[in-house]
Amino acid sequence: MEFSIKAGAAEKQKSDCIVLGVFAGRELSEAAALVDRAAGGTLAEALTDGDMEGRAGSTLMLRKVPGVAATRVLLVGLGASAEFDAHAYREAVQHAVAALRGGGSTDCVLYLAELAVKDCDLPRRIRLAVSTAAEATYRFDRLKSKKDEDRTRLAKITLGLSAKPDAAANRALAQGEALGAGVKLARDLGNLPSNICTPSFLAKQAQELADEFKLKCQVLEEKDMEKLGMGSLLSVTRGSREPAKLIVLEYNGGPKKQKPTVLVGKGITFDTGGISIKPAPDMDEMKFDMSGAGSVLGTLRAVAGMGLPVNVVGIIPTCENMPDGSAVKPGDIVTSMSGLTIEILNTDAEGRLILCDALTYAKRFNPDGMIDIATLTGACVVALGHVASGLYSNDDAFAAEVLDAGQASLDRAWRMPLWQDYQEQLKSPFADLANIGGRAAGSVTAACFLARFVDKTTPWVHLDIAGVAYRSGKQKGSTGRPVPMLTEYLLKRAGQG
């Protein structure tokens, strides 16, 4: 998809389609009203005839409207004007693109970015329109021998503005494209099956990203991890034939002395549960168990694409969780890199076992802040569903910044408690701690486990993305979340939010 910005009157655009907004109650947006005047009232007539009311999600395609240079006019319902916020704006863009995708247009000019949106200035509206449109045209058919129909139609989206775009608007366009590309990378990696997207494959992807954007990339092998004493991470990979990797990517766009933000992503490329094997139904969805890793690569793609003046380190512990004759067994005790010993009571609680060693390793980068991202617990899905990521933190100010970034990017998280009281549940009679804490508060005790490996002086956020990283059912597929939230946080840190 190609994106651009163009100034000028909507009715004069020579395009396959111009897209105009209509608020509920048949209220034409400013751009729509101007076109209506040039069209001798044709749009207003369609509305009063009852063809459209302006409800959110509705669209109406008109052809060959008099006085309009474009072949088509697509009216998009915006809902109530008093309630028109960033959510409604994003939905309008989504519905417009969905309506165009199946139709005859190969290019279009969108007159939505100049709509007044609560708490959303023009650069943010441009960024959101571009990243949303990029996501709305996403398709994953590379493994089908016959590609889906209509895949090539809509190829060019122009944002129509009344005035010439300034530097901030042009920058926002490029940022929207970079964010879209980051989300796409995360979705592609999530959607790829585990026989293709192996730990070695992820390492190769990281290397390619590094080559393209001049990042520093280092891949630690199992023998390196042994030397570092990563007994916890290595215990998870024991049952697999695929070698585990620890990927380290560094983007240095900021001042040399600036401490980096460290992102740590869970990269279980397939989670069978190991010896504590999972039930068969829906087990295919455990190919998405590397979504945290995908979001780290996606965010680095976005940030590097934007050339943000920040320093970011991405750390990805990646392996498979498989059962075989040498697999780790319930009751086994391993020693983590931190020195803490862990009694593995359930081999399906493997995410925390690879993350704890990665978090210990992260200390050497002297992080300004550390965020780990993981499809960690089914309990988090029970608690928050598919709307919000679970957020845990040892630092209120840092937590607030990440929560705000989620709010601003419409990729939200909800804070959960990390209280000492829950540590009780992780006690083991044989080791320093157990890797599970029983049925109660499963997402919380998983976070509390990780907290044992982070020192109190490092601001840290843990995101449990089990409910938001992918969709099940008919719409099955990776969402690319929380790349928008993480990118927004780094945009703010770069002073460009």
- Active-site positions read 278, 352
Q: Is 84 left (phi over 0), alpha (psi -120 to 50) or beta?
A: beta
79, 24 in Cβ contact below 8 A? yes
Kindly tell me which residue out of 16, 91, 250, 350 binds ligand BES, with binding defined by CB under 6 A.
Answer: 350
Kindly tell me which residue out of 11, 348, 357, 411 binds Mn ion, with binding defined by CB under 5 A.
Answer: 348
**Residue 437 binds to Zn ion (criterion: CB under 5 A):** no
**Residue 406 binds to Zn ion (criterion: CB under 5 A):** no
Tell me how far the alpha carbon of residue 270 is from its chain's centroid. Answer: 19
What is the torsional sign of CA 441, 443, 444, 449?
positive
**Residue 16 binds to Zn ion (criterion: CB under 5 A):** no
**Residue 379 binds to ligand BES (criterion: CB under 6 A):** yes
**Residue 464 binds to Mn ion (criterion: CB under 5 A):** no
- Provide the mask over 205-244, with x wherever binding to Mn ion is found by CB under 5 A and - wherever it is not: ----------------------------------------
In three-state secondary structure terms, 300 is helix
Kindly tell me which residue out of 11, 107, 271, 357 binds Mn ion, with binding defined by CB under 5 A.
Answer: 271
Helix (H) or strand (E) run with residue 413 in it: strand 413-415
124, 84 in Cβ contact below 8 A? no
Residue 392's Cβ-side half-sphere holds a number of Cα atoms within 13 Å equal to 23
Helical H segments across 307-395, by residue range: 351-362, 378-384
β 311-321/245-252 pair status: antiparallel
Question: Which residue lies nearer to ligand BES by CB, 351 or 459?
Answer: 351
d(CA 317, CA 472): 25
Q: Which among 15-23, 28-36, 192-200, 374-382 is the span making contact with ligand BES, rule CB under 6 A? A: 374-382
Sequence-ordered strand ranges (E) for 165-283:
216-220, 245-252, 261-265, 267-271
300, 251 in Cβ contact below 8 A? yes
**Residue 349 binds to ligand BES (criterion: CB under 6 A):** yes
The partner in contact with residue 183, picked from Zn ion, Mn ion, ligand BES, none with C-beta cut-offs of 5 to 8 angstroms by kind, is none
**Residue 346 binds to ligand BES (criterion: CB under 6 A):** yes
Kindly tell me which residue out of 158, 311, 360, 377 binds ligand BES, with binding defined by CB under 6 A.
Answer: 377
450, 263 in Cβ contact below 8 A? no
Place of tokens 């089914």: 378
**Residue 112 binds to ligand BES (criterion: CB under 6 A):** no
**What is the closest distance, in whole angstroms, from the C-beta atom of residue 478 to ligand BES in the complex?**
12
**Residue 16 binds to Mn ion (criterion: CB under 5 A):** no
Q: Which among 211-219, 271-279, 363-371, 455-463 is the span making contact with Mn ion, rule CB under 5 A? A: 271-279
Question: Which residue lies nearer to ligand BES by CB, 16 or 350?
Answer: 350
**What is the closest distance, in whole angstroms, from the C-beta atom of residue 442 to ligand BES in the complex?**
5
**What is the closest distance, in whole angstroms, from the C-beta atom of residue 236 to ligand BES in the complex?**
10
Q: Write out the binding residues for Zn ion, residues 332-371 only, by CB under 5 A.
A: 351
Please report how the helices 396-408 and 483-493 are oriented relative to each other, as an axis angle in degrees rounded to 10.
110
DSSP 79-145: E-GGG--HHHHHHHHHHHHHHHHTSS-SEEEEE-TTS-BTTB-HHHHHHHHHHHHHHHT----TT-S
Q: Write out the binding residues for Zn ion, residues 81-140 only, by CB under 5 A.
A: none
**What is the closest distance, in whole angstroms, from the C-beta atom of residue 285 to ligand BES in the complex?**
7
**Residue 348 binds to ligand BES (criterion: CB under 6 A):** yes
Question: Which residue lies nearer to Zn ion by CB, 36 or 271?
Answer: 271
In three-state secondary structure terms, 61 is strand
Kindly tell me which residue out of 67, 378, 477, 497 binds ligand BES, with binding defined by CB under 6 A.
Answer: 378
**What is the closest distance, in whole angstroms, from the C-beta atom of residue 228 to Mn ion in the complex?**
23
Binding stretches for Mn ion (CB under 5 A): 271, 348, 350
Binding stretches for ligand BES (CB under 6 A): 271, 289, 346, 348-351, 375-379, 381, 436, 442, 466
Binding stretches for Zn ion (CB under 5 A): 268, 271, 289, 351
